[in-house]
Amino acid sequence: MSIEELRNEVLRLNSESRAYLAKELLNSLDTMSDVEIERLWIDEAVRRDDELDKGLAQAYPARETLARARANRK
Global model pTM greater than 0.75:
no
User: pLDDT for 4-13, tens place per residue?
Assistant: 999 999 999 9
- Distance (Å, rounded) from C-alpha 23 to C-alpha 17? 10
- Distance (Å, rounded) from C-alpha 35 to C-alpha 20? 27
User: pLDDT for 20-62, tens place per residue?
Assistant: 999 999 998 888 899 999 999 999 999 999 999 999 999 999 9
What is the number of structural domains in the chain? 2
Instruction: Kindly state whether residues 40 and 22 are assigned to the same domain.
Output: no
The contacts of residue 22 (CB under 8 Å, 6+ apart) are none
Instruction: Kindly state whether residues 13 and 24 are assigned to the same domain.
Output: yes
The residue segments making up the domain with residue 20 are: 1-31
Instruction: Kindly state whether residues 41 and 26 are assigned to the same domain.
Output: no
- Distance (Å, rounded) from C-alpha 1 to C-alpha 7? 10
User: Which one-letter DSSP state was computed for residue 66?
Assistant: H
- Distance (Å, rounded) from C-alpha 33 to C-alpha 40? 11
